[in-house]
Amino acid sequence: MYDPFGKQGDGVEQAAEAMSDDELDGAIAALHVRERWLLIAGDIDSARQVAMDKSICLCVRANRSH
């Protein structure tokens, strides 16, 4: 299976899988806010990492819906 996130996202994926739907939704919202603040602060590299983590969480959430 193709893994667009590679090994770097393994810990985030495992954590997201262990969360309830409500916890996962809260984590996604918190990551979104963190990403925006990092962008505002000009920390693009950190914002990209947070965006990647958020994307992993969104993928986990979408897979639960199927």
Structure tokens at 25: 């939704």
- The answer to the question of residue 3 being in a domain is no
- Assess if residue 4 is contained within a domain: no
What is the reported pLDDT for 2? Answer: 40
Residue 35 belongs to a domain: yes
Q: Nearest Cα to 15, choosing from 44, 65, 57?
A: 57
| pLDDT for 31 | 97
The predicted structure's pLDDT at residue 16: 95
By the 8 A CB rule, do 58 and 28 touch? Answer: yes
Kindly report the pTM of this predicted structure. 0.82
CA torsion sign for 16, 21, 25, 30 is: negative
Confidence (pLDDT) at 65: 77
- Domain that includes residue 38, residue range: 10-65
CA separation for the pair 52, 47 (Å, rounded): 9
For the chain, what is the domain count?
Answer: 1
Residue 23 lies in a domain: yes
Spell out, as residue ranges, where the chain has pLDDT lower than 70: 1-9, 66
Whether 22 is covered by a domain: the verdict is yes
Instruction: Confirm whether 2 is domain-assigned.
Output: no
